[in-house]
Amino acid sequence: MRVLLFDPFHGAAGDMIVGSLLDMGADENMVRNAMASVAGEPKFTRVKRGGIEGVLVESNAEMEPRSIKEVLERLRDAEASPHAKEIAERIFHRMHHAEERIHGEAPHFHEIGSDDAIAEVTGACVAVESLEVGSCTSLPLVLGSGYAESAHGRIPVPAPATLEIIRGSNLLIRNWEGQGELCTPTGAAILAELCRTGMDIPPHAKVIGVGYGAGSRDTPDGPNVLRAVMLEVKGEPGHDMVDLLETNIDDVTPEVVSHAIDRTMAEGALDATVIPALMKKGRPGHLIRVISPMQRSGHLAAVLAKELGTLGIRVFPAVHRFVATRRIESVEVRIGGEKRQIDVKFSYWGDQLISMKPEFEQCRAWAEHLGLPVRDVLVQVEEAGRDALGRGDDRP
């Protein structure tokens, strides 16, 4: 499987993402035609930033703000596959929700709803598709510092929309580094959507491609480029290191325990379980166990302490685990004359498919709309997923 790894060591913007993928070998004609179909004719140029050569993308588009309805109408007419257009729509919904959370009801985007952003998002989705990527992941983002000019005047860096997009994603950030706005809302939204499975970086992989996307400025504090690396993973399960958090409780109601588990998952836990236990003096209790990314264990321990009132949390640091490789694909499903795209998670142990799970909330919402039992919808989505894979021997 091909894994696309983004390395935003000097930030990320929409044009830099497109440039890095073009430099890696994405189909230039497909990307050019897709961008031109929603905005002006783009220009791709090889330039140097801090001694590193990469591709500079200029969309030659207008900066006129548009409503989310106008943006989606523009995307639907794009010269791109239905799958690429669907990903692009999800990216703009991320931006729209961020705008609304910050400004209230936002009838129009500002910078992130302009034609150049539409072109960059469309170009990025088409570029990823042309590279036949199985999954995407990202190293921590560098955000920048200081202030930037916007439609609302001078605002602190990172922009509020950028932070809001990152808050609702699997992306991690580094300390505020560098001068100026290094990560834009468009760049953050593209990476958040492409890397939404939160897949860990495979420890054993072959580098088969590298690309650099150039920013518009040649900065003195380091190469203003975004690096993309294509990895090939073969034949063995993935590995990673996690922390294991545990605590015993015997004086908390089930409702509070349930809420604490939900909070840990929302705050970045990889998994959380509650195990019945017999405590001292014969009191019934529970063992709470949380699997945490190593960089989140301190924060998640604080969440457990505050929610449960527990006086101590055991940490088993740097636990090695084997993990299945996961990818999420949008599968077209037809039920009762109605057609929808439903996300399905495919999991592999090495090269063998071991499970296929439809996105439950999407299936539940559709089942309620159709007036059907949710298990009937789940079964039909699984069948569509099998059809999408073909009739290979690796089906579970």
pLDDT digits (tens, 9 = 90+) for 318-370: 676 777 778 888 899 999 889 999 999 998 887 788 899 999 999 999 999 99
Pair (21, 152) in one structural domain: yes
| CATH code, domain carrying 364 | 3.10.20.300
Confidence band for 174, pLDDT divided at 50, 70 and 90? confident
The answer as to whether 262 is a domain residue is: yes
Question: Of 239 and 71, which is predicted with more confidence?
Answer: 71
80, 126 contact by CB (below 8 A) = yes
Pair (87, 228) in one structural domain: yes
Domain endpoint, select from 297, 323, 349:
323
Pair (206, 305) in one structural domain: no
Pair (77, 160) in one structural domain: yes
Pair (271, 292) in one structural domain: yes
Domain endpoint, select from 308, 323, 338:
323
Q: Say whether pLDDT at 276 is over 90.
A: yes
Q: Specify the pLDDT at position 113.
A: 59
Range with the lowest mean pLDDT among 74-83, 99-108, 195-204, 226-235?
195-204
Domain of residue 345: give its range: 325-389
Give the predicted TM-score (pTM) of the model: 0.62
Q: Specify the pLDDT at position 151.
A: 64
The answer as to whether 78 is a domain residue is: yes
The answer as to whether 21 is a domain residue is: yes
The answer as to whether 135 is a domain residue is: yes
Query: How many domains is the chain partitioned into structurally?
Result: 3
The answer as to whether 396 is a domain residue is: no
To which residue do tokens 């808050």 refer?
A: 167
pLDDT tens figures, 71-130: 999 999 999 998 899 899 999 999 988 888 887 765 555 555 588 899 999 999 999 999
Pair (88, 228) in one structural domain: yes
Kindly state the percentage of the chain with pLDDT values over 70: 90
Joined tokens for residue 109: 């985007």
Q: Specify the pLDDT at position 348.
A: 84
Q: Say whether pLDDT at 396 is over 50.
A: no
342, 381 contact by CB (below 8 A) = yes
Pair (285, 331) in one structural domain: no
Pair (83, 140) in one structural domain: yes
Q: Specify the pLDDT at position 198.
A: 52
Joined tokens for residue 269: 């836990």
Rounded to an integer, what distance in angstroms lies between the CA atom of residue 236 and that of residue 29? 35
Backbone angles phi, psi at 171, to 5 degrees: -70, 145
The answer as to whether 83 is a domain residue is: yes
Pair (11, 29) in one structural domain: yes
User: What is the amino acid identity at position 242?
Assistant: V
Instruction: Identify the CA nearest to 393 among candidates 356, 348, 352.
Output: 352
Domain endpoint, select from 210, 232, 254:
232
Average pLDDT over residues 51-63: 90
Pair (212, 244) in one structural domain: no
The answer as to whether 395 is a domain residue is: no
Q: Which long-range CB contacts under 8 A does 103-111 form with residues at least 24 apart?
A: 107/67, 108/65, 108/66, 108/67, 109/65, 109/66, 109/67, 109/68, 109/71, 110/65, 110/150, 110/151, 110/152, 111/63, 111/65, 111/150, 111/151, 111/184, 111/185, 111/186
Pair (201, 274) in one structural domain: no
Q: Specify the pLDDT at position 393.
A: 38
137, 240 contact by CB (below 8 A) = no
Pair (319, 334) in one structural domain: no
The answer as to whether 394 is a domain residue is: no
- Most confidently modeled range among 33-37, 292-296, 391-395: 33-37
Instruction: Identify the CA nearest to 133 among candidates 27, 34, 12.
Output: 27
